[in-house]
Amino acid sequence: MTSRLLFGMTGLLLLTGCRSGVDSGDPGGASGAGVKFYVSPEGRDSWSGGLVEPNRAGTDGPFATVVRARDAVRTLKAAGPLSTPVTVLLRGGRYYVTEPLQFGPQDSGTEACPITYAAYPGETPELIGGRRLTGFTPAGNGQVSLALPEVKAGAWTFRSLFINNERQVRARYPNVDPADPYRRGFLYNGTKPNGFGLAVGCIHNPGDWMEYKVTIPAAGDYTFWMFYSAQNANTEWKTQGMGGRTELTVDNGAPILLQNLPDTGGWSVYKWSPTATVTLTAGEHVMRWRNVQGGGLGLRGYVFCDDPAWKPVDEDLPQVAAGRHRVVVHAAKFVASQGKQLAVTGSGTGSKTTLCCPPDAFKPAWLAPGVEIHVFQSGDCRAYLEIVSIQGYDPQTHVISLGGPECSALLAAGDRYFVENVQEELDSPGEWYLNRQTGVLYCLPKPGFTAKTEVIAPALGRMFDVQGAVGAESVSHLRLSGLTIRCTDWEQGDGCSGWGMGSDGVVYFGNAVNCVVENCDFRNTGKNAVCINGGSGNRVEGCEIGHSGGGGVLILESSGNTVTDNHIHHCGEVYKHNGGVVIQGAQASGNTVSHNAVHDTSRYGISLKCPGTANVVEYNRVQNTSLETHDTGAIEVTQQDRNFRSGSVIRGNLVADSIGYSTTDDKPCYMSWGIYLDSFAGGYEVTGNIVYRNSHGGIMLQGGKDNRVTNNIFVDSREMQGLLANFSDNSRGEVLERNIFYWTIPDAVLYATGKLLTPEVIRVDNNLIFQAGSAAPRMGWGGWTSFTDWQEHGFDTHSVYADPLFVDPANDDYTLRPDSPAFKLGFTAIDTDRIGPIKRRCSCRIIPAGPQFWAPSPAAAGSK
User: pLDDT-derived band of residue 191, with 50, 70 and 90 as boundaries?
Assistant: confident
Residue of higher predicted confidence among 267 and 745: 745
Cross-strand bridge partners of residue 278: 222
The reply to whether 777 and 721 lie within a common domain is: yes
603 in any annotated domain: no
* Rounded mean pLDDT, 397-402: 93
pLDDT at residue number 93:
98
pLDDT at residue number 411:
85
Closest by alpha carbon to 617, among 643, 598, 640, 632?
Answer: 598
696 in any annotated domain: yes
Q: Is the peptide bond before 848 cis (omega within 30 degrees of 0)?
A: no
Reply yes or no on whether the pLDDT at 444 is more than 80.
Answer: yes
Q: Do the Cβ atoms of 752 and 790 come closer than 8 Å?
A: no
The reply to whether 413 and 453 lie within a common domain is: no
The tens digit of pLDDT for each residue in 108-141 reads 999 999 999 999 999 999 999 999 999 999 999 9
pLDDT at residue number 551:
97
pLDDT at residue number 853:
84
Q: Do the Cβ atoms of 11 and 846 come closer than 8 Å?
A: yes
pLDDT at residue number 580:
98
Q: Of 306, 324, 346, which closes a domain?
A: 346
* Rounded mean pLDDT, 756-772: 95
CA distances from 275 to 121, 216, 663 (A): 78, 18, 32
User: pLDDT-derived band of residue 18, with 50, 70 and 90 as boundaries?
Assistant: very low
* Rounded mean pLDDT, 409-437: 94
The tens digit of pLDDT for each residue in 700-722 reads 999 999 999 999 999 999 999 99
* Rounded mean pLDDT, 188-192: 79
Amino acid in position 657:
D
Any idea which of 1-10, 322-331, 411-420, 725-734 has the lowest mean pLDDT? 1-10
The tens digit of pLDDT for each residue in 196-213 reads 777 898 898 899 999 999
Cross-strand bridge partners of residue 276: 224
The reply to whether 435 and 331 lie within a common domain is: no
DSSP 44: -
The reply to whether 743 and 698 lie within a common domain is: yes
pLDDT at residue number 840:
74
Query: CA angle at residue 817 from 812 to 818, to 5 degrees?
Result: 155
The reply to whether 809 and 778 lie within a common domain is: yes
User: In the chain, what percentage of residues exceed pLDDT 90?
Assistant: 78
User: pLDDT-derived band of residue 8, with 50, 70 and 90 as boundaries?
Assistant: very low
Reply yes or no on whether the pLDDT at 20 is more than 60.
Answer: no
Cross-strand bridge partners of residue 523: 486, 546
User: pLDDT-derived band of residue 864, with 50, 70 and 90 as boundaries?
Assistant: very low
221 in any annotated domain: yes
Gap between the Cα atoms of 150 and 569, Å rounded:
34
579 in any annotated domain: no
The reply to whether 154 and 235 lie within a common domain is: no
Alpha carbon of residue 447 to chain centroid: 33
pLDDT at residue number 692:
98
Q: Do the Cβ atoms of 127 and 97 come closer than 8 Å?
A: yes
Q: Do the Cβ atoms of 583 and 610 come closer than 8 Å?
A: no
The reply to whether 237 and 144 lie within a common domain is: no
Q: Do the Cβ atoms of 132 and 126 come closer than 8 Å?
A: no
Amino acid in position 148:
L
Residue of higher predicted confidence among 48 and 381: 48
Q: Do the Cβ atoms of 614 and 593 come closer than 8 Å?
A: no
Q: Of 315, 330, 346, which closes a domain?
A: 346
* Rounded mean pLDDT, 518-529: 98
Reply yes or no on whether the pLDDT at 859 is more than 70.
Answer: no
707: Cβ contacts below 8 Å, ≥ 6 apart:
677, 681, 682, 683, 684, 685, 686, 701, 734, 735
The tens digit of pLDDT for each residue in 329-362 reads 999 899 999 987 788 776 555 688 999 888 889 9
Cross-strand bridge partners of residue 513: 476, 536
Reply yes or no on whether the pLDDT at 19 is more than 70.
Answer: no
Closest by alpha carbon to 812, among 747, 718, 716?
Answer: 716
pLDDT at residue number 665:
61
The reply to whether 689 and 795 lie within a common domain is: yes
DSSP 503: -
577 in any annotated domain: no
Gap between the Cα atoms of 487 and 503, Å rounded:
19
The reply to whether 754 and 779 lie within a common domain is: yes
Closest by alpha carbon to 296, among 627, 749, 755?
Answer: 755
The reply to whether 683 and 752 lie within a common domain is: yes
The tens digit of pLDDT for each residue in 779-830 reads 987 778 899 999 999 999 999 999 999 999 999 999 999 999 999 999 999 9
pLDDT at residue number 863:
36
Gap between the Cα atoms of 290 and 204, Å rounded:
10
The reply to whether 288 and 371 lie within a common domain is: no
403 in any annotated domain: yes
pLDDT at residue number 350:
61
The tens digit of pLDDT for each residue in 247-283 reads 999 999 999 999 999 999 988 889 999 999 999 999 9
User: pLDDT-derived band of residue 55, with 50, 70 and 90 as boundaries?
Assistant: very high
Q: Of 377, 406, 425, which closes a domain?
A: 425
Torsion sign across C-alpha atoms 854, 859, 863, 864: positive
193: Cβ contacts below 8 Å, ≥ 6 apart:
397
Reply yes or no on whether the pLDDT at 16 is more than 50.
Answer: no
Gap between the Cα atoms of 62 and 54, Å rounded:
7
Q: What is the mean pLDDT of the chain?
A: 91
Contacts 24+ apart (CB under 8 A), 803-807: 803/742, 803/770, 803/772, 804/713, 804/740, 804/742, 804/768, 804/770, 806/742, 807/3
**What's the chain's length in residues?**
864
Torsion sign across C-alpha atoms 306, 308, 313, 319: negative
Q: Do the Cβ atoms of 467 and 103 come closer than 8 Å?
A: yes
Closest by alpha carbon to 412, among 459, 339, 352?
Answer: 352
pLDDT at residue number 17:
34
pLDDT at residue number 238:
77
Q: Report strand pairing: 539-541 vs 484-486.
A: unpaired
The reply to whether 233 and 207 lie within a common domain is: yes
User: pLDDT-derived band of residue 27, with 50, 70 and 90 as boundaries?
Assistant: very low
Total of domains in the chain? 4
pLDDT at residue number 669:
78
Residue 811: domain span: 1-9+629-838
User: In the chain, what percentage of residues exceed pLDDT 70?
Assistant: 93
Reply yes or no on whether the pLDDT at 458 is more than 70.
Answer: yes
Phi-psi label, residue 489: left if phi above 0, alpha if psi -120 to 50, beta otherwise: beta
Residue of higher predicted confidence among 380 and 162: 162
724 in any annotated domain: yes
789: enclosing H helix or E strand: helix 787-792
The tens digit of pLDDT for each residue in 471-518 reads 779 999 999 999 999 999 999 877 777 778 889 999 999 999 999 999
30 in any annotated domain: no
Query: CA angle at residue 787 from 786 to 789, to 5 degrees?
Result: 65
User: pLDDT-derived band of residue 388, with 50, 70 and 90 as boundaries?
Assistant: very high
CATH number of residue 355's parent domain: 2.40.30
